[in-house]
Structure 1
Amino acid sequence: MELQPGREAVVRVAVATLWTAPEAVRPVDCPAVAADADIPAWISGLDTDQQVGDCVLSQLLLGERVLVTELRPDGWAHVVAVEQPAAKLDPRGYPGWLPADQLVPTDAVTAGPTEPPLVVDATVSALRAAPDGPVVLPGVVIGTRLVAAGPPRDGWRPVHAPGHADPLWLPAAHLAEVAATPPSAEEVLAVAQRLLHVVYIWGGVSAHGIDCSGLVHLAWRRFGVRLPRDADDQAAATTPLPLGAERPGDLYFFARPGRKIHHIGIVTAEPHDDDRRMLHACYRQRRVLEEPLPAERTATLVGAHRV
């Protein structure tokens, strides 16, 4: 079975990176575009300027669906990430390029129709060939959706993984069932707080490296809620609140006069007068942090919203 334009495929690596163009990839990006992408190695090799290079658009997690729209002879695929809404770019999802060998056709995915959907709840985990066996797929991150391949055994759970004929295993404690009801804002905030100090990567959507809107997208994805990928789209998809009515788990949006929204944070405390706190992936300090809004942030605060 081969990839075909006009057909869906799924990501077969722990984290795949979506690029503006194949020609935009830099030498330092080699670990991210390898057939077995090594995102921690890629990030560890980036300097602070390379962490915010605009050649990266977004990232996709193991098992995430894409629509293949073009295949190049040099091994690159243009795709639309259908699980990352981006209305201003493409009504079908977030468009971009990634190596074709990081995908498998949906026909190649083994999964039973009655098996329950699961989500990785550990910040980072690894899929193994057997319970406590050798690692087959490292670096699997929170929010990754998997399908059970059978009941737990001795504290381990078998799951189907795209590109692998046999079930792989991870600790049962690293998984949770996808709830049928929406999460509370406090539950989502608790997930985001587990990503404190994760390095800032422009376009990042993983526990290895993340940006401001990626943090919000991933925290809600953990609970099966599909928010848009970019901050301005996230504002359009959420409900505005009067400033002062926000509560922990709500969202702050920031924009300069006459410009579109450029930053987002998650409210971590009820406001007192003009004192506000948020958790956010900070471009300036290149990491996820929780802090009171400094004066320059307050000056660009344009609203609070609720999912």
Structure 2
Amino acid sequence: MELQPGREAVVRVAVATLWTSPEAVRAVDRPALAARTDIAGWIAGMDTDQQVGDCVLSQLLLGERVLVTEVRPDGWAHVVAVEQPAAKLHPRGYPGWLPAEQLVPDAGVADAEPLVVDATVTALRTAPGGAEAVPGVVLGTRLVPAGPPVDGWRPVHAPGHADPLWLPAAHAVPVPTTPPSAGEVLAVAQRLLDVVYIWGGVSAYGIDCSGLVHLAWRRLGVLLPRDADDQAAATRPVPLGTERPGDLYFFARPGRKIHHIGIVTAEPGPDDDRRMLHACYRQRRVLEERLPAERTATLVGAHRV
């Protein structure tokens, strides 16, 4: 069954990277383009400048749905990532390019209460304790159960695999159905401390500022837009000084759109002393810190999900 424009498909690799165009990819990007991606190897092979190259738009996780809009003879597909809202770019989601072999047509799976990966990184195996069929599956990935756990292993359906695959039962939990608490949000985000900053990243291997926010809430069953300015539009402003842990700080330069976001980690202290957890472009990693003066100068608001 082939991909068809106008139809939905799903991601069949652990982490697929969404590109600005097929022509924008670089030689260093080869591990991210394969039918069995190696995102850790891809990131390890880049220098600090390549890690923030603007050829990357976003990333999609195993099982994530896309709308296929074009399939090229050279093996590339243009898609809209329908689970990553980006209203300014497309009414259905985030548009970009993927290798077509990283997708399979959406055949649909029998309704079942979905699971979400709670391990930072895991693998789907051909049998309990068996060979890795899909390595590098990351936190926040949605999975469809294929039956009850067996001896500490959980069978799940995986796109592109006819038979169920297996992961440790403790690595996947039911998707929450109630709004998360601030403590839950921070607990997820804190597990990503020191993860490398990657422009467009949305995984436990590498992530950017809005990707961190998107992924933390995604793990907890809340769908937020992909980019910081859209995240601001989708959340409720609160007066500066009343923010609390789990809220969001937004940053913009005068006359410019929002360019950065962080998660509030403490109530503001004397003299507007503020702290946040964020994926920091300057230091190229996820960190928790007191807002330095140059960051405070561009703080434009606090919002609540």
Same fold (TM over 0.5): yes
SS of equivalent residue, structure 2 residue 197 = coil
Report the equivalent of 2:68. Answer: 68
Q: Does structure 1 residue 175 correspond to structure 2 residue 184? A: no
Residue 278 (structure 2) aligned to one of 262, 277, 280? 280
State the Cα distance separating 1:133 from its structure 2 match: 1.1
Match for residue 54 of structure 1? 54
Once superposed, which parts of structure 1, at least 4 consecutive aligned residues long, lie more than 3 Å away? none
Give the TM-score, by structure 1 length.
0.98
Displacement of 1:185 after TM fit? Answer: 2.1
Deviation by residue 1:47-79 (Cα, 9 ceiling, x = unmatched): 000000000000000000000000100000000
Which string of whole-angstrom CA distances, capped at 9 and with x for unpartnered residues, describes residues 76-115 of structure 1? 00000000000000111000001000000012x5x332x3
- Give the equivalent residue in structure 2 for 1:229: 226
How far, CA to CA, are the matches of 1:222 and 1:138 in structure 2?
A: 19
Amino acid at match of 2:304: R
Residue matched to 2:122: 125
The 3-state SS of whatever aligns with 1:206 is coil
The alpha carbon displacement at 1:116 in A equals 1.9
Aligned match of 1:163 in 151, 160, 163?
160
SS at match of 1:85: coil
Match for 2:299 among 282, 287, 301?
301
Q: CA deviation at 1:186?
A: 1.8
Instruction: Give the Å deviation of 1:191.
Output: 0.2
Identify the residue that residue 23 of structure 1 maps to in structure 2.
23
Cα displacement string for residues 228-287 of structure 1 (whole angstroms, at most 9, x for unaligned residues) = 000000000000010011111100000001110000000001111211000000000000
Counterparts of 1:105 and 1:3, CA distance in 2: 6
Long gaps (5+) in structure 2: none
Q: Counterpart of 1:183 in 2: which secondary structure?
A: coil
The equivalent residue for 1:260 is: 257
Deviations, residues 200-247 of structure 1 (Å, cap 9, x unaligned): 000000000000000000000001211000000000000001001111
CA distance in 2 between counterparts of 1:87 and 1:302 reads 21
SS across alignment from 2:196: coil
* Alignment length (residue pairs): 304
- Which of 237, 241, 244 is 1:244 aligned to? 241
CA distance in 2, matches of 1:123, 1:245: 32
Q: Give the letter for the 1:153 counterpart.
A: V
TM-score for the superposition, normalised by structure 2:
0.99
Q: CA separation in 2, counterparts of 1:112 and 1:261? A: 41
Residues 150-199 of structure 1 show CA distances to partners (whole Å, capped at 9, x for unaligned) of: 10011110000000011111011111101221111221111000000000
Structure 1, unpaired ranges of 5+ = none
Instruction: Provide the aligned C-alpha RMSD in A.
Output: 0.7
Q: Secondary structure at the match of 1:40?
A: helix
1:97 aligns with 2:94: no
Contact 1:112 1:149 in 2 (8 A): no
**CA separation in 2, counterparts of 1:103 and 1:37?**
12
- The structural deviation recorded for 1:34 is 1.1
Match among 136, 154, 172 for residue 133 of structure 2:
136
1: CA distance, partners of 2:123 / 2:293: 42
- Matches of 2:241 and 2:171, distance apart in 1: 37
Shift of 1:136: 1.1
Residues 17 and 56 of structure 1 are in contact (CA less than 8 Å); yes or no, is this contact kept in structure 2? Answer: yes
SS in 2 for 1:186: helix
